[in-house]
Chain A
Amino acid sequence: MNPLVHQALHTETIELAQNQCLSGLLRFITAGSVDDGKSTLIGRLLYDTGNVAADQLASIQATSQKRGLAAIDWSLLTDGLIAEREQGITIDVAYRYFSTARRKFIIGDAPGHEQYTRNMVTAASSADLAILLVDARKGVITQTRRHAYLAHLLGIRELVLAVNKMDLVDWQPSIYRSIVDEFNAFVSQLGRHHVQAIPLSALNGTNVATHAEAIPWYDGPSLLEHLESIPSRRDADQTPMRLPVQRVVRVMMGNGANGATEKEFRGYQGTLASGHLHVGDEVEVMPSGQRARVTGLNIAEQALQKASADRSVVVSLDREIDISRGDMLSDPIQLPRVTKGITADVCWLSEQPLQTHGKYLIKHTTRSVNALFDDLIYRVDVNTLAHEAAPESAVMNDILRVKLKLQQPLFVDNYSDNRTTGSFIVIDPVSFHTVAAGVII
Chain B
Amino acid sequence: MNSQSNDLLDQPHPSADHLDLLEAEALFILREVTAECRHPVMLYSGGKDSAVLLHLAYKAFHPERIGLALLHIDTGHNYDEVIAYRDRMAERYDCQLHVRNVEDSIRKGSVRLRHPLESRNSHQSVTLMEAIAEFGFDACLGGARRDEEKARAKERIVSVRDEFGQWEPKNQRPELWSLYNTRVAPGNHVRVFPISNWTELDVWQYIQREDIELPELYFSHLRDIVRRGDILVPVTHLTPANQGETVETISCRFRTVGDISCTAPVASTAITVADIIAETTQCLLTERGATRLDDRASDGAMEQRKKEGYF
Determine the residue in chain A with the shortest Cβ distance to B1. A19
Residue numbers in B under 8 Å from A24 (CB-CB): 15-19, 21
B34 interface contact, C-beta 8 A: yes
Q: Assess whether A366 is in contact with B285, with CB atoms less than 8 Å apart.
A: no
Q: Assess whether B169 is in contact with A92, with CB atoms less than 8 Å apart.
A: yes
Q: Per-position contact with B for A415-435: 1 when CB-CB < 8 Å, else 0?
A: 000011001110100011110
Q: Assess whether B197 is in contact with A427, with CB atoms less than 8 Å apart.
A: no
Q: Per-position contact with B for A285-317: 1 when CB-CB < 8 Å, else 0?
A: 000000000000011110000001011101000
A22 interface contact, C-beta 8 A: yes
Residues A53-82 near B (CB distance < 8 A): 53-56, 59, 78-82
Residue numbers in B under 8 Å from A54 (CB-CB): 284-285
Q: Assess whether B17 is in contact with A122, with CB atoms less than 8 Å apart.
A: no
For B21, give its contact among A23, A82, A253, A363 (CB under 8 Å). A23
Q: Assess whether B154 is in contact with A80, with CB atoms less than 8 Å apart.
A: yes
Given the interface pairs A19-B8, A81-B154, the reply to whether A97 lies near B197 with Cβ below 8 Å is yes
Residue numbers in A under 8 Å from B176 (CB-CB): 121-122, 125-126, 423, 425, 434, 437
Determine the residue in chain A with the shortest Cβ distance to B201. A99
Q: Which of A25, A54, A267 has the most chain B CB within a 10 Å cutoff?
A: A25
A94 interface contact, C-beta 8 A: yes
Given the interface pairs A246-B31, A310-B24, A311-B20, the reply to whether A432 lies near B177 with Cβ below 8 Å is no
B92 interface contact, C-beta 8 A: no
Q: Assess whether B35 is in contact with A81, with CB atoms less than 8 Å apart.
A: no
Residue numbers in A under 8 Å from B154 (CB-CB): 80-81, 91-94
Smallest CB separation, B305 vs chain A (Å): 12
Q: Assess whether A96 is in contact with B18, with CB atoms less than 8 Å apart.
A: no
Given the interface pairs A300-B58, A434-B174, the reply to whether A249 lies near B179 with Cβ below 8 Å is no
Q: Assess whether A91 is in contact with B169, with CB atoms less than 8 Å apart.
A: yes
Given the interface pairs A55-B286, A126-B177, A314-B62, the reply to whether A276 lies near B14 with Cβ below 8 Å is yes
Residue numbers in B under 8 Å from A420 (CB-CB): 177-178
A85 interface contact, C-beta 8 A: yes
B114 interface contact, C-beta 8 A: no
Q: Assess whether A425 is in contact with B181, with CB atoms less than 8 Å apart.
A: yes
B300 interface contact, C-beta 8 A: yes
What CA separation (Å) do A299 and B62 show in the bound complex? 8
Smallest CB separation, A275 vs chain B (Å): 11
Residue numbers in B under 8 Å from A126 (CB-CB): 176-178
What CA separation (Å) do A23 and B22 show in the bound complex? 12
What CA separation (Å) do A134 and B8 show in the bound complex? 38
Total interface residues in chain A, CB < 8 Å: 72
Smallest CB separation, B251 vs chain A (Å): 22
Determine the residue in chain A with the shortest Cβ distance to B307. A82
Given the interface pairs A24-B18, A122-B176, A311-B20, the reply to whether A247 lies near B199 with Cβ below 8 Å is no
A118 interface contact, C-beta 8 A: yes
Q: Per-position contact with A for B260-287: 1 when CB-CB < 8 Å, else 0?
A: 0000000000000000000000011110
Total interface residues in chain B, CB < 8 Å: 65
Given the interface pairs A80-B303, A301-B62, the reply to whether A310 lies near B16 with Cβ below 8 Å is yes
Q: Per-position contact with A for B180-196: 1 when CB-CB < 8 Å, else 0?
A: 01011100000000001
Determine the residue in chain A with the shortest Cβ distance to B184. A432
Residue numbers in B under 8 Å from A82 (CB-CB): 299-300, 303-304
Q: Assess whether A106 is in contact with B173, with CB atoms less than 8 Å apart.
A: no
A414 interface contact, C-beta 8 A: no
Q: Which of B173, B175, B179, B185 has the most chain A CB within a 10 Å cutoff?
A: B179
Residues B140-196 near A (CB distance < 8 A): 146-147, 149-154, 169-170, 172-179, 181, 183-185, 196
Q: Per-position contact with B for A308-328: 1 when CB-CB < 8 Å, else 0?
A: 101110100000000001000
A21 interface contact, C-beta 8 A: yes
Given the interface pairs A56-B286, A121-B176, A424-B179, the reply to whether A314 lies near B197 with Cβ below 8 Å is no
Determine the residue in chain A with the shortest Cβ distance to B304. A82
Residue numbers in B under 8 Å from A85 (CB-CB): 299-300
Determine the residue in chain A with the shortest Cβ distance to B202. A104
18 more contacts with CB within 8 A, not counting A311-B24, A434-B176, are: A21-B14, A24-B17, A24-B18, A53-B286, A78-B153, A97-B199, A121-B174, A125-B176, A246-B35, A271-B178, A299-B23, A308-B14, A312-B24, A420-B177, A420-B178, A423-B176, A425-B181, A432-B185
30 A–B contact pairs at CB < 8 A? A19-B5, A22-B15, A23-B17, A23-B21, A25-B22, A54-B284, A78-B150, A80-B150, A83-B170, A91-B169, A91-B170, A92-B154, A94-B153, A95-B153, A97-B147, A104-B18, A122-B176, A265-B63, A269-B31, A271-B24, A300-B62, A312-B27, A312-B31, A325-B35, A366-B35, A423-B176, A425-B179, A432-B181, A432-B184, A434-B175
A residues with CB within 8 A of B: 19, 21-25, 53-56, 59, 78-83, 85, 91-97, 99, 103-104, 106, 118-119, 121-122, 125-126, 237, 246-247, 249, 251, 253, 265, 267, 269-271, 276, 298-301, 308, 310-312, 314, 325, 349, 363-364, 366, 419-420, 423-425, 427, 431-434, 437
